[in-house]
Amino acid sequence: MSNNELFKLDGNPSLGKTLPLSIQHVLAMIIGNIAPAIIIAQSIGMNTEQITQMVQYSMICAGLATILQIYGIWKFGARLPIVMGTNFAFVPVIITINSSYGFASVFGACIVGSIFLIFFGLFIEKIIKYFPPIVTGTTVLAMGISLYPVAISYMAGVSNTPEYGNLKNWSIALTTLIVVLAIDHFAKGYVKILSILLGIFAGYIVSLFAGLVDFSAISSAKYFSAPAIFPFGVEFHTGAILTMVVMYIVTSIQVIGDASSLTVGAMNREATKDEVSGALMSKGLSGLLTAFLGGLPSSSYAQNIGIISITKVVSKKIVAIAGLIIFALGFLPKFSSIMTTIPYPVLGGATLSVFSIITINGIKLISREKMTNRNAGILGISLAFGLGLTTVPASLAQTPVWFQTFIGSSPIIIATLIAFTLNLLLPRNEEK
């Protein structure tokens, strides 16, 4: 079979040519997909079995979301080779919602947020003009900055333990980070794309010799397990719902950018309106399924789009098989339990580089527009409130709980709302 099949959207390359490329996509996304689940589960005090379940459900839901995005149903799906997986941006929001209303409320909020996003995607052509680069860039910048404390805390180790912040933890975290940076800046091709995975592997090896890896979860894990409906329950609370609706809108901007990046980088054309709308509606539908199965909200993965843009291999079959592999791995708790043995400092060292990339992407988005007094004001005020209110949560102590959750749960929420509002209110003719 001709190699040309690899470079056709509906190409049908042989399994021998497909499988290695599919595995590469799995390797590129797997850490980004499981890390949020591990971080959230550990942060809210889940036991070992529940942490394994969270990883398991994240794999299953990522596989479903990826396949839906590729092949689509009705108007759902971009019908492009887009890999979907758990979104880091939801980490601080979910942790805060859990502390206010309990973990079951996360899934109720995700159901409403997903339905809202489906309608948002349906009418995106009329709505997108209200989200220029100064708004989306401020959102992404706040997203990256809000995740730094998570990475730093993990680099220091397990909080509230005598070992937290000791030199051993920091040495392992920095070793992981250095390996990631070295590969990212000096390697080329596929190796460069796998920098985070290889960094975690290096940090894991060092952790083994340092005695930080605990294998007890593996022996107790089952070989096979299927997900249940609402395994963690479901509840509906106004504050959680409002927060999640905004988060779904915020993260939809990333999907729009990734879809455009894919078509421009690999197909030399802009994404069509149907592709963009389908991508968002598919994110909403997969979010709905994910909420029922106990998974976490997903989004498109830029690293996998980077692979496609570099190689120009756009065959949907390749990414679909990657989605099936991810989906199948989710039914194997033994595999999920292995992922949970990654020590905190290793995760922290690897994810710090991811969060820094998110921050820089926000700066790049903002730089697409001239930094006028108007745009500087939007950026400055939005970040001031977004970061300020979450840094000093006591400032909202006398407000209702739903308001504290909605406004104070994440810098992303308040920064986006203020940037969106100021963009509508402030005049645009100041440079005239």
pLDDT higher than 90, residue 317? yes
pLDDT higher than 80, residue 380? yes
Domain that holds residue 111: 3-425
Whether 66 is in a domain gets the answer: yes
Find, among 156, 96, 204, 194, the residue nearest to 352 by Cα: 156
Helix (H, G, I), strand (E, B) or coil at 298: strand
pLDDT higher than 60, residue 76? yes
Query: What percentage of residues in the chain have a pLDDT greater than 90?
Result: 42
Whether 431 is in a domain gets the answer: no
pLDDT given for residue 69 in this prediction: 96
Helix (H, G, I), strand (E, B) or coil at 299: strand
Higher-confidence residue: 401 or 14?
A: 14
Dihedral sign for Cα 272, 193, 351, 39, please.
Answer: positive
Reported as a pLDDT band with limits 50, 70 and 90, residue 360 is: confident
Higher-confidence residue: 152 or 195?
A: 152
For helices 167-186 and 195-210, give the axis angle rounded to 10 degrees: 150
pLDDT higher than 70, residue 3? no
What integer is the mean pLDDT of 210-239? 88
pLDDT higher than 70, residue 359? yes
pLDDT given for residue 431 in this prediction: 52
Helix (H, G, I), strand (E, B) or coil at 76: strand
Whether 432 is in a domain gets the answer: no
How far, in Å, CA of 366 to CA of 145, rounded? Answer: 15
What integer is the mean pLDDT of 373-391? 90
Cβ contacts of 226-230, under 8 Å, gap ≥ 24: 226/331, 227/56, 227/57, 227/60, 227/293, 227/294, 227/330, 228/294, 229/292, 229/293, 230/104, 230/107, 230/292, 230/294
Contacts of 157 (CB under 8 A, 6+ apart): 163, 164, 165, 166, 169, 343, 344, 345
Helices (H) and strands (E) in the chain, counts: 19, 2
231, amino acid identity: P
Whether 241 is in a domain gets the answer: yes
Higher-confidence residue: 36 or 351?
A: 36
What integer is the mean pLDDT of 375-390? 91
Q: What angle do CA 410, 87, 103 make, to 5 degrees?
A: 65
Whether 369 is in a domain gets the answer: yes
pLDDT given for residue 307 in this prediction: 79
- Asked if 290 contacts 296 with a C-beta cutoff of 8 angstroms, the reply is yes
pLDDT given for residue 408 in this prediction: 66
Q: In whole angstroms, what separates CA 330 from the centre of its chain?
A: 18
Number of domains the chain is built from: 1
pLDDT higher than 70, residue 190? no
Whether 409 is in a domain gets the answer: yes
Reported as a pLDDT band with limits 50, 70 and 90, residue 84 is: very high
Whether 430 is in a domain gets the answer: no
How far, in Å, CA of 166 to CA of 178, rounded? Answer: 18
pLDDT given for residue 409 in this prediction: 62
pLDDT given for residue 375 in this prediction: 93
pLDDT higher than 90, residue 71? yes
Whether 26 is in a domain gets the answer: yes
pLDDT given for residue 2 in this prediction: 57
pLDDT given for residue 172 in this prediction: 96
pLDDT higher than 80, residue 1? no
pLDDT given for residue 86 in this prediction: 92
Mean pLDDT of the chain: 88
pLDDT higher than 60, residue 393? yes
